[in-house]
Chains A and B, each alone.
Chain A
Amino acid sequence: MDHPFPHSSLNRIGSSRSKASGRNSIDGSDSSGAIANLGNLAFSVEGSRLSASTRQRYGSRGARSDGFASQKEISDEDARLIYINNPEKTNKKFEFTGNSIRTAKYSILTFLPRNLFEQFHRVAYIYFLVIAILNQLPQLAVFGRAASILPLAFVLLVTAIKDAYEDWRRHRSDRIENNRMATVMLNGHFQSKKWKNIQVGEIIKVCANETLPCDMVLLSTSDPTGVAYVQTINLDGESNLKTRYAKQETLSRMPEKEGIEGLIKCEHPNRNIYGFMANMDIDGKRFSLGPSNIILRGCEIKNTAWAVGVAVYTGQETKVMLNNSGAPSKRSRLETHMNREIVLLSLFLIVLCTIVSTCAGIWLRRHRNELDFMPYYRRKDFSQEKEENYNYYGFVMEIFFTFLMSVIVFQIMIPISLYISMELVRLGQAYFMIQDTWLFDEASNSKFQCRALNINEDLGQIKYIFSDKTGTLTENKMEFQCASIQGVDYNGKKASLGEPDDHPVIVERQVLRPKMKVKTNPELLQVVRSGKKSKEGKHAYDYFLALAACNTIVPIIVETQESGLRLIDYQGESPDEQALVYAAAAYGFVLIERTSGHIIIDVWGDRQRFDVLGLHEFDSDRKRMSVIVGCPDKSVKVFVKGADSSMFSVVDKSLNSDVIRATETHLHDYSSLGLRTLVVGMRELSSLEFEEWQSAYEKANNSLMGRASLLRAVAVNVESNLSILGVSAIEDKLQQGVPEAIESLRQAGIKVWVLTGDKQETAISIGYSCKLLTSDMTQIIINSNSKESCRKSLEDAKTMVKKITALSASALRIPVALIIDGTSLVYILETELENKLFELATACSVVLCCRVAPLQKAGIVALIKNRTDDMTLAIGDGANDVSMIQMADVGIGISGQEGRQAVMASDFAMGQFRFLVPLLLVHGHWNYQRMGYMILYNFYRNAIFVLVLFWYVLYTAFSLTTAINEWSSVLYSVIYTSVPTIVVGVLDKDLGRRTLLKYPQLYGAGHRQECYNSKLFWLTMVDTVWQSAVIFYIPYLAYRHGTVDGSSMGDLWTLAVVILVNIHLAMDVIRWTWLTHAAIWGSIVATFVCVIIIDAIPQLTGYWAIFHLASSGLFWANLLAILVTAMVPRFLVKVFNQHVRPGDVQIAREAEKFGNSTGYSALDVEMNTISEPPQER
Chain B
Amino acid sequence: MLISVIFIPIGVASLLASRDVVEIVDRYETDCIPANYTGDELSFIQDPSSNKTCSRTLTVPKHMKQPIYVYYQLDNFYQNHRRYVKSRNDKQLRSADNANSTSGCDPEDRANGSPIVPCGLIAWSLFNDTYNFSLNNEALTVNTSGISWKSDRDKKFGDNVYPRNFQNGTLIGGKRLDPSRPLSEQEDLIVWMRTAALPTFRKLYGKIEVDLEANSTISVTLENNYNTYSFGGKKKLVLSTTRWLGGKNDFLGIAYLTVGGLCFFLAMAFIVVYLVKPRQLGDPSYLSWNRSPSGH
Name A's B-contacting residues (CB within 8 A). 367, 370, 373-378, 380-383, 390-391, 747, 749, 812-813, 955-957, 959-961, 963, 999, 1001, 1004, 1034, 1036-1050, 1098-1101, 1103-1104, 1107-1108, 1112-1114, 1117-1118, 1120-1121, 1124-1125, 1128, 1132, 1135, 1139-1140, 1142-1144, 1147-1154, 1156, 1158-1159
Contacts and interface: CB of A to CB of B under 8 A. Distances in A.
Nearest to B236: A1041
Interface stretch (B30-38, B129-137, B138-146, B149-157): B149-157
B80 A1046 contact: yes
Interface stretch (B58-66, B209-217, B274-282): B274-282
A1040 B80 contact: no
Interface in B242-291: 244-247, 249, 251-252, 255-256, 259, 262-263, 266, 270, 273-274, 279, 281-284, 286-289
Interface in B12-36: 14
A1139 B249 contact: no
Nearest to A1159: B284
B81 interface: yes
Contacts of A747: 296
A59 to B, nearest CB: 35
A736 B169 CA distance: 92
B151 A1104 contact: yes
B9 interface: no
Contacts of B77: 375-376
Given A376-B125, A1041-B73, 14 more contacts: A376-B77, A377-B83, A378-B83, A383-B109, A391-B83, A956-B80, A959-B78, A959-B80, A961-B81, A1040-B200, A1050-B197, A1098-B94, A1099-B91, A1117-B14
Contacts of A1118: 252
A1039 B248 CA distance: 10
B281 A383 contact: no
A375 B201 contact: no
A959 B81 contact: yes
Contact of B78 (A957, A999, A1121, A1152): A957
Contacts of A956: 78, 80-82, 199
A812 B246 CA distance: 73
B81 to A, nearest CB: 4
Nearest to B87: A378
A1117 B230 contact: no
Interface string B67-82: 0000101000111111
A957 B199 contact: yes
A1118 B121 CA distance: 32
A1128 B262 contact: yes
Given A961-B85, A1114-B246, A1099 B90 contact: yes
Contacts of A378: 83, 107-108, 121
Interface in B156-215: 156, 169-171, 173-174, 194-204
Interface residues of B, number: 80
B84 A376 contact: yes
B235 interface: no
B222 interface: no
A999 B81 CA distance: 60
Contact of A1139 (B110, B244, B274, B294): B274
A390 B106 contact: yes
Contacts of A1142: 279, 286
A959 B284 contact: no
A1036 B80 CA distance: 14
A750 to B, nearest CB: 12
Nearest to B173: A375
Contact of A1154 (B7, B255, B281): B281
Contacts of B79: 376, 1046
B78 A1101 contact: no
B3 interface: yes
14 contacts: A378-B83, A378-B108, A382-B107, A383-B110, A959-B83, A960-B82, A1038-B252, A1040-B200, A1044-B197, A1049-B197, A1107-B151, A1114-B245, A1124-B3, A1128-B259
A375 B80 contact: no
Contacts of B281: 1150, 1153-1154
A1046 B252 contact: no
B111 interface: yes
Nearest to B281: A1150
Among the interface residues A1121, A1148, A1159, which one has the most CB atoms of the partner chain B within 10 A? A1121
B54 interface: no
Contacts of A1043: 71, 196, 201-204
Given A375-B121, A999-B287, A1117-B245, A1103 B198 contact: no
A640 to B, nearest CB: 51
Given A956-B82, A1042-B247, A1124-B7, A383 B282 contact: no
B124 interface: yes
Given A370-B231, A1001-B296, A1144-B287, A1125 B259 contact: yes
A955 B245 contact: no
A715 to B, nearest CB: 53
Given A1001-B296, A1103-B155, A1151-B282, A1048 B82 contact: no
Interface string B48-60: 0000000000000
Contacts of B230: 370, 373-375
A1137 to B, nearest CB: 12
A1114 B252 contact: yes
A1034 B156 CA distance: 30
Contacts of A1149: 282
**Residue of B10, B84, B149, B155 ringed by the most chain A CB atoms within 10 A:** B84
A1041 B94 contact: no
Contacts of A1140: 273
A1046 B85 contact: yes
A959 B107 contact: no
A1147 B284 contact: yes
A1147 B197 contact: no
Contacts of A1049: 197-198
Nearest to B202: A1043
B286 A1147 contact: yes
Q: Which of A963, A1125, A1154 has the most CB of B within 10 A?
A: A1125
Contacts of B227: 373, 375
A1037 B10 CA distance: 17
Contacts of B259: 1121, 1124-1125, 1128
The 8 nearest A-B residue pairs measured at CB: A1150-B282, A1104-B151, A381-B107, A375-B125, A1151-B282, A1049-B197, A959-B82, A376-B84
A1113 B151 contact: no
Given A1001-B289, A1042-B246, A390 B107 contact: yes
B80 A961 contact: yes
Contacts of A376: 77-79, 81, 83-84, 121, 125
Given A383-B108, A1038-B252, A1046-B197, A1104 B82 contact: no
Contacts of B266: 1132
A1100 B90 contact: yes
A1177 to B, nearest CB: 22
Counting chain A CB atoms within 10 Å of each CB, which of B108, B197, B289 scores highest?
B197
A74 B154 CA distance: 90
B294 A813 contact: yes
B255 A1034 contact: yes
B249 A1040 contact: yes
A390 B266 CA distance: 57
A1112 B246 contact: yes
Contact of B171 (A370, A382, A1041, A1099): A382
Interface string B101-133: 000001111110000000001001100000000
Residue in A1043, A1135, A1148 with the greatest tally of chain B CB atoms within 10 Å: A1043
A1044 B78 contact: no
A1120 B3 CA distance: 10
B283 A1147 contact: yes
Residue from the set B111, B121, B247, B282 with the largest chain A CB neighbour count within 10 Å? B282
Contacts of A1038: 249, 251-252, 255
